[in-house]
Structure 1
Amino acid sequence: MALQVEHELHERRKGRNYGVGIILVGFIAIVFGLTVVKVIQLGDAAKFERFDHVARPQIIPDEGAGE
């Protein structure tokens, strides 16, 4: 004979946990969606490398190459 009585406090917590889970999944979906839109909007993956805010000489065009 198991004593498995579920208190109404557990039901309220379960409801809150579901709500927090839904909000968390929604937030993750929004961030993922914005990332996908940004990458698609850039078009070329090489353009995406320029947004890392780090000075990298290999992506800076040569000044003397056009002459």
Structure 2
Amino acid sequence: MSIRAEHELHSRRRGRNLGIGLMLGAFVLLVMALTFVKITNIDFGDLPGGAIQTQESN
């Protein structure tokens, strides 16, 4: 029994699967980055002492 060469259909399917896998990985990284930014976002106006004042009091 001889070893057969890979069929052309398999190489196209492998390329498609690789593309979908890379897109899925990029989406996961995007969601992780947005979550990290949202969690670590600090609103400096709410800090004690008013680090940033939008209006001056007279």
TM-score, normalised by the number of residues in structure 1: 0.57
> Share of identical aligned residues, percent?
47
Residue of structure 1 equivalent to 2:24:
24
Residue of structure 2 equivalent to 1:9:
9
Greater fraction helix: 1
Look up the equivalent residue of 1:31 and give its one-letter code.
Answer: V
Distance 1:3 1:24 in 2: 34
Distance 1:15 1:9 in 2: 10
Unaligned residue ranges in structure 2 (runs of 5+): 44-58
Residue of structure 2 equivalent to 1:60:
none
Look up the equivalent residue of 2:3 and give its one-letter code.
Answer: L
The size of the alignment, in residue pairs, is 43
Secondary structure of the corresponding residue to residue 24 of structure 2: helix
Distance 2:32 2:2 in 1: 45
CA deviation profile, 1:29-53 (whole Å, cap 9, x unmatched): 010000000011047xxxxxxxxxx
Distance 2:7 2:40 in 1: 50
Look up the equivalent residue of 1:3 and give its one-letter code.
Answer: I
